[in-house]
Structure 1
Amino acid sequence: MIAPRSLTPDVQLRLATLDDDIGLADAYVRSWDHLKEWEPDRADSWFTPAGQRERLTGTLERYKDGRTVPWVLVEGERILGGITLNDLVPGPFRSSSLGYWLAVDRVGRGLMTRAVETVAEIADTELKLHRIEASTRTDNVASQKVLHRTGFTQIGTAPTYLHIAGAWRDHHLFQRVLNDRAPGA
């Protein structure tokens, strides 16, 4: 179990739970006008507690299997965003893919930069990963700044990489090498 971490005196990074269904639905509804430019199209159920509970159920099953680590950023009981390490690969690869989002009223305050840095530290010291990869739409400058500030380097560009906001979009690809330890060390 990964312990919660304080990102600021008021904001905590902690593992997601099924009880986050209402808070996540609320955060997505509050911020969708901002997020929809960067996210895949979502069914109406995505914005409901039932839809988020269904998503969380699958995500937490993958967490139990060691394939995903889902966190939420919270201030008291209010969810401000999420960050996830997906597709954890053991063995000689020791890698994972990073995804994150932040509620519109918290953008531009350095909060996601602190969250990404904290997750990278956990990935290195607790999960013993070697590297983390991430991607952003080529025009998502704010997200690219987060990655650059937290030690990621751009390693390429993938044409028509993901279907986002109704179309196939080009993405920049990034990685952060965490350490040079041998697998298992």
Structure 2
Amino acid sequence: MTATTSTLTGNVHLRVLRPSDAEPMRAAYHRNRDHLAPWEPDRAEEFFTAAGQGKVIASKLDLHAVGSEVPWVLVEEDRIIGAITLTGIVRGPFLSAHLGYWVDREVNGRGIGSAAIAFAVDFARQELGLHRLQAATLPHNTASQKILQRAGFHTIGLAPSYLKIAGTWQDHVLYQHILY
């Protein structure tokens, strides 16, 4: 798959995750640990170390190499300020993937998440030839829901006990974007 770098807004750009991102990812997750905790699975302490991030990155890059994931980071002035990923890429008659993302608490409200999602949608359509993207949010995550809706995603339903987030199985609102 194409190793893409793109300017999103101002001095924020997006690029594919690299093995050398272990320490910058550790720093980003450390800065945002409390901010992300309500929206993510419980994480082992190792996840918040450079070694732990190295393992996560290696796994993501293995999946990228076989075409089932595209992991990008959002970078501002050489500092990682978020991530966006297409996961579970399925070919054949489904031509679909899941979209997930997060943005650093310090840069929320600047349109970075919206720009990253718009980029990922275009990439999924143009570069991967996908027909559909899906995303899921907790019912009370109205900020992410608004961003997804502005990007062309539509609600397809409520999935009970969909993901184990912050230590409990939680319902999620499911969204899809039909790309063509």
Length-normalised TM-score, structure 1: 0.95
- Shift, 1:76, TM fit: 2.4
Match of 1:146 in 2: 147
Q: Which residue of 2 aligns with 1:121?
A: 122
Q: Structure 1 runs of 4+ off > 6 angstroms?
A: none
Distance 1:36 1:106 in 2: 17
Give the partner amino acid of 2:158: T
Deviation at 1:8, TM superposition (A): 1.4
Can you list the C-alpha shifts for 1:151-178, whole angstroms capped at 9, x where unaligned?
A: 0000000111111011111100000000
Q: For residues 21-100 of structure 1, what are the structure 2 equivalents within 5 Å?
A: 21-100=22-101
How far residue 9 of structure 1 moved from its aligned partner, in angstroms, is 2.5
CA distance in 2, matches of 1:55, 1:143: 24
For each residue in 1:3-47, what CA deviation from the matched residue of structure 2 results, as whole angstroms up to 9, or x when unmatched?
201001300010001111111110011011110000000000111
Percent identity of paired positions between Structure 1 and Structure 2: 46
The answer for the alignment partner of 2:105 in structure 1 is 104
Task: State the alpha-carbon separation in 2 of the partners of residues 9 and 38 from structure 1.
Answer: 27
Cα distance in 1 for partners of 2:112, 2:77 equals: 15
Deviation readout 1:117-176 (Å, 9 max, x if unpaired)? 011001000110001000000111111111001000000001111110111111000000
User: Are positions 1:169 and 2:178 aligned together?
Assistant: no
Which residue is 1:155 aligned to? 156
Aligned residue pair count: 179
Give the counterpart letter for 1:155 in structure 2: I
Any idea what the Cα deviations from partners look like across 1:83-126, whole Å, max 9, x if unmatched? 00001000111000001011110112111000000110010001
Q: How does 1:132-143 map to 2 (within 5 A)?
A: 132-143=133-144
Which runs of no fewer than 5 residues in structure 1 stay unpaired?
A: 180-185
Distance 1:45 1:99 in 2: 22
Q: CA deviation at 1:2?
A: 3.2
For residue 77 of structure 1, report the CA deviation from its aligned partner.
1.4
Residue of structure 2 in register with 1:183 after alignment: none
